[in-house]
Amino acid sequence: GAVVSQHPSWVICKSGTSVKIECRSLDFQATTMFWYRQFPKQSLMLMATSNEGSKATYEQGVEKDKFLINHASLTLSTLTVTSAHPEDSSFYICSAITPQAGAEETQYFGPGTRLLVL
């Protein structure tokens, strides 16, 4: 299957600092990527849809000024958590859709980034 990577795999930062997480599609071009957040023992929750060359679309309740998304190329999307606070500590997962010759498209996920804000 298609490979999606994330960097870093984990990060610890002080409250008030900003953290950037990268999501890359390694063997395919992804015009659309998604960012999810997952708290312990809970399911994934969609944060935003990232489209190459245009502004991201955020889900209701997600602050676009706090979670900055940039999708500058067909293989890279970044999520920047600005002025991070302890409540932003979570597991952040990106995904990308592979283009298919047939009708169906499949969404592949990155390995996730664990963020801990002290």
Partner 1 sequence: LAKTTQPISMDSYEGQEVNITCSHNNIATNDYITWYQQFPSQGPRFIIQGYKTKVTNEVASLFIPADRKSSTLSLPRVSLSDTAVYYCLVGASTGRRALTFGSGTRLQVQP
Place of tokens 């060359």: 53
Strand-strand pairing, 113-117 and 10-13: parallel
Residue closer to partner 1 (CB basis): 40 or 86: 40
> Is 69:6 a contact under the CB 8 Å cutoff?
no
| Minimal distance, residue 83 CB to partner 1, in Å | 25
Size of the site for partner 1 (CB under 8 A): 27
User: What distance in Å separates the CA atoms of residue 29 and residue 109, rounded to the nearest whole number?
Assistant: 14
Does 74 interact with partner 1 (rule: CB under 8 A)? no
Contact set for partner 1, span 45-64 (CB under 8 A): 45-46, 49
Catalog residues that contact partner 1 under the rule CB under 8 A.
Answer: 1, 4, 6, 31-32, 34, 36, 43-46, 49, 91, 93, 95, 97, 103-112, 114
